[in-house]
Amino acid sequence: MNARVAHYGNSIYDCVAHASVCKGFLHWSDCELQTVPRRFVNPRRWIGTTYILDGEHGGSMLTKFATTLCVLTSSLLLWLSVLPWLPPLPTYDLWRLRLASAELSTWGLVVACFCFLLVLVAMRRVKSKLLVVSLGLLSFSIGFEALPLFEIWSAAKAANVELSLPRYFIGENPTAEEVTDVEYTKDLRLDVYLPPGHNRQSAIPAILMIHGGGWNHGNKSDYAKCNRWLARNGYAVFDIDYRLAGPKAQFPTQEDDVATALHWLDEHASEYGVDNRRIALMGRSAGAQLALLTAYDRAANSSAPDVKPVKAVIGLYGPTDLIWGYNNIADPDVLNCRFLLENYLGGNPTAAKKNYETASPLLKVTPRCAPTLLIHGRRDHIVGLHHSVALREALDQCGVPAEVLELPTADHAFDFNFDGWNSQIEQEVLMRFLHKHLPVTATATSLPSAGSSARAE
């Protein structure tokens, strides 16, 4: 063997390590080992790094694979971070991905920062242009993910809302007493959410919740977590199903179902410990249109003996001017909104003009309307912010208490992320509105009689 092996102490491990530096671990017999002080030899370093990354023995393939994977991961993170800033995307699935990317952007920021640190550590051991590219991509990704935070913090400050970082990452799990699938009319059911430990001999305010879904899909369990949160804060929530739109169930079928649910709640209030004089309506998207329309119609007909006006109404990203909405459909129209409107109202605005006008909350505004809270995202390309702004202006002109919460980074259905930044702002503003117009502390000591037409002032 043509090798002069030097002694580094009593450990052959040192010889193997130095041999691997000379010619490679498999060819150590061809190298001439020189006497090197033991302190200069780090077996773990040479065996763990030099050998694995040695191009002569397949290590370079592993290195290239790792760095390429790093670049691909960085590219994906960058694409997801840019997605919310792009123009509206052409398909429903891409819209959903864009929505999730926007609402989970702070998670993306954390992942991007973690990957950035990993790349920095790798660059100390491996010299690779791919790692430099990855570092650049991650830098842009961190920037795009951080940008929405400034807008969110500004919105929270303007609304005087304190955001919770632990809640964003850990989340909340509110609980409530639940009674599911209660039939309020033939083939239609509702779910009941009551405060934990609720005394049904008391009389607490109630919220009738109406789900969205373009009037032709969705169900009462879509936002159960929000219902539990409202119940935990002292409100009884009744989340209803209604007949979905179709050839045999067009407008005003859905509004009739909401009115039927209100009548049922009026009659069964004492059964659940609810004050039937203090009821609010709340809905999302198509459900917001139904909530607003029902509230305003009941206010206009409040003189009728069997009609009891609601105390407040909350609409999240709902359409209020259906003719304008039909003529100003989003491009691209990922939900096929014109079809949804025609399916709901029985045709286009020319063929079913009366239905479009009758179903538009904007055209039902009077000084008698219930106090209204409207919540809308500025990035909502499905139901534009114009709907809420126009309704608020009409309510202001009639002297009706009305608020619009504009969320700068929110898209349609942003509150699917119950613990997200936008949802935290929305929930705080919503609770203030409810405490103002439907306070829990104003609960009467005795239950009102079923069907009582008295109104709590």
User: How confident is the model over 57-110, as pLDDT tens digits?
Assistant: 444 777 777 888 889 999 999 999 999 998 888 899 999 999 999 999 999 999
Helix (H, G, I), strand (E, B) or coil at 407: strand
Cβ(372)–Cβ(400) below 8 Å: yes
Cα(399)–Cα(371) distance, rounded to whole angstroms?
10
- Token pair in block for residue 362: 């904007």
User: In Å, how far are 146, 208, 275 from 113, measured between CA atoms?
Assistant: 11, 43, 51
Q: Which tens digits make up the pLDDT trace of 350-368?
A: 999 999 999 999 999 999 9
Tokens of 132: 């430099």
Per-residue pLDDT band at 20 (split at 50, 70, 90): very low
CA distance 375 to 429: 9
Question: Do the Cβ atoms of 59 and 52 come closer than 8 Å?
Answer: yes
pLDDT single digits (tens) 381-413: 999 999 999 999 999 999 999 999 999 999 999
DSSP 374: E
135, pLDDT greater than 80: yes
Question: Residue 280's beta-bridge partner residues?
Answer: 207, 312
Please tell me the predicted confidence (pLDDT) of residue 10: 42
